């Protein structure tokens, strides 16, 4: 890990994730004719877009990913659905190729579930007879979860159809009501379902993959296992608390009670688990808020007051004092320095 990688993984920068997780957003901009806006929307977010393709395990702040996707959705509300339908094979090179080399759709599904950690440590696929359920951490912001599920379901459906050269996915189920862009959904969709899932054509499960290659599959699976083993990991409790704070901030400055409730635990248990990692709730919250403040202050379109209120501060003066305590400089001085 380089010195820059370490700076991105530093707690002060908030939760860190492999840059591979952003690949679909970058690919979506290009596939949807939005390439001209790509660099502009990634500016000020501690992102190096070239690393998404060249160094997929390089760490980036989760907050930057959330902000980046938010900008894409502001430009195009159906961005996630459209990207899922139109991003090409190879958007996730190692995972896509490993799945494609499988002998059949059934084995491709198992491969997807086994190696999905290559592109997401906050999501997972669960295999059922004739269904494939996609789950995303409930501790992420709801709009972010919906967009992630929209993309994941439609991208995977497109790859499966392509793999066996027929309609392998007959319908999509999602646990939310029809959004204003529901007309963009390219498949039969059941809204207000109990989960997010793909409904599979039973007769397609044993259909051969058009890219099946046993030798290539063996080599790619070995590479996938090695890549997963090299993925960075961090203290689970610390990451969970950080993610919960990021999700709760839009509703006001979260305290330990609110975070414990979101994590479905007690304040006492949460305090004890943090202490076991040498942490306090106040320290973790300050780290997250500092990271979010730095990211948002880097966006010239947001005023200092906008940033303060977005982070849950009721008074600008309180945010000013907190930022000085975190960084040793005022928000205005921080902006001028960058």
Q: For the segment 156-185, what is each residue's pLDDT rounded down to a tens digit?
A: 999 999 999 999 999 999 999 999 999 999
Residue 139's pLDDT band (boundaries 50, 70, 90)?
low
Per DSSP, the residues of 204-249 read GTTPBPTT--HHHHHHHHHHHHHHHHTS----HHHHHHHHHHHHHG
Q: Which CATH architecture has domain 7-229?
A: Alpha-Beta Complex (3.90)
Residue 208's pLDDT band (boundaries 50, 70, 90)?
very high
pLDDT surpasses 50 at 193 = yes
**Per-residue pLDDT tens over the stretch 216-238:** 999 999 999 988 877 766 556 88
Residue 36's pLDDT band (boundaries 50, 70, 90)?
very high
Name the residue with tokens 């907190």: 322
Q: Partners of 208 in the beta sheet?
A: 104
**Percent of residues in the chain assigned helix, strand, coil, to nearest 5:** 60, 10, 30
C-alpha closest to that of 97 among 19, 161, 159: 159
Q: What is the mean pLDDT of the chain?
A: 86
Strands 59-61 and 16-18, by their bridges, are: antiparallel
CA–CA dist 117, 261 (Å, integer):
27
For the ranges 5-9, 82-86, 302-306, the maximum mean pLDDT occurs at: 82-86
CA 144 to chain CA centroid, nearest Å = 8
CA–CA dist 179, 102 (Å, integer):
35
User: Domain 236-337, CATH 1.10.10.60 — does that match?
Assistant: yes
Q: Does the fold of domain 236-337 match that of domain 7-229?
A: no
Residues 6+ apart with CB under 8 A from 219: none
What 272-280 contacts at long range (C-beta under 8 Å, 24+ apart), as own/partner pairs, is 273/237, 274/237, 274/238, 274/241, 276/237, 277/235, 277/237, 277/238, 279/235, 279/237, 279/238
Strand order of the β-sheet with 131-136 is 123-128, 131-136, 197-200, 169-173, 189-190
Domain boundaries, the chain: 7-229, 236-337
pLDDT surpasses 50 at 97 = yes
pLDDT confidence of residue 13: 36
User: What pTM was computed for the model?
Assistant: 0.68
The pair of structure tokens assigned to 73 is 């959705």
pLDDT confidence of residue 30: 95
């Amino acid at each position: 890990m380089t010195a820059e990688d370490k700076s991105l993984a530093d707690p002060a920068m908030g939760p860190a994730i492999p840059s591979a997780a952003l690949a679909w957003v970058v690919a979506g901009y290009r596939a949807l004719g939005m390439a001209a806006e790509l660099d502009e929307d990634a500016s000020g977010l501690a992102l190096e877009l070239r690393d998404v393709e060249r160094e997929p395990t390089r760490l980036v702040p989760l907050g930057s990913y959330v902000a980046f996707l938010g900008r894409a959705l502001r430009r195009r509300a159906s961005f996630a659905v459209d990207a899922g339908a139109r991003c090409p094979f190879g958007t996730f090179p190692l995972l896509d190729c490993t799945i494609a080399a499988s002998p059949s759709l059934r084995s491709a599904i198992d491969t997807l579930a086994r190696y999905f950690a290559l592109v997401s440590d906050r999501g997972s696929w669960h295999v059922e007879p004739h269904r494939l359920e996609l789950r995303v951490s409930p501790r992420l912001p709801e709009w972010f979860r919906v967009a992630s599920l929209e993309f994941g379901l439609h991208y995977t459906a497109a790859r499966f159809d392509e793999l066996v050269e027929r309609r392998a996915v007959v319908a999509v189920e999602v646990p939310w009501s029809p959004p204003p862009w529901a007309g963009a959904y390219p498949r039969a969709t059941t809204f207000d379902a109990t989960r997010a899932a793909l409904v599979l054509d039973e007769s397609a499960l044993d259909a051969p993959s058009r890219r099946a290659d046993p030798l290539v599959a063996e080599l790619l699976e070995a590479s996938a296992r090695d890549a997963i083993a090299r993925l960075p990991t961090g203290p689970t409790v610390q990451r969970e608390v950080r993610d919960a704070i990021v999700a709760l901030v839009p509703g006001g400055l979260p305290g330990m009670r609110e975070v414990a409730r979101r994590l479905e635990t007690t304040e006492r248990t949460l305090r004890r688990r943090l202490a076991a990692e040498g942490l306090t709730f106040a320290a973790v919250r300050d780290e997250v808020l500092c990271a979010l403040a730095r990211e948002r202050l880097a966006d010239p379109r947001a005023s200092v007051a906008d940033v303060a209120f977005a982070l849950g501060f009721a008074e600008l003066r309180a945010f000013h004092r907190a930022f000085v305590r975190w960084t040793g400089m005022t928000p205005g001085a921080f902006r001028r320095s960058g």
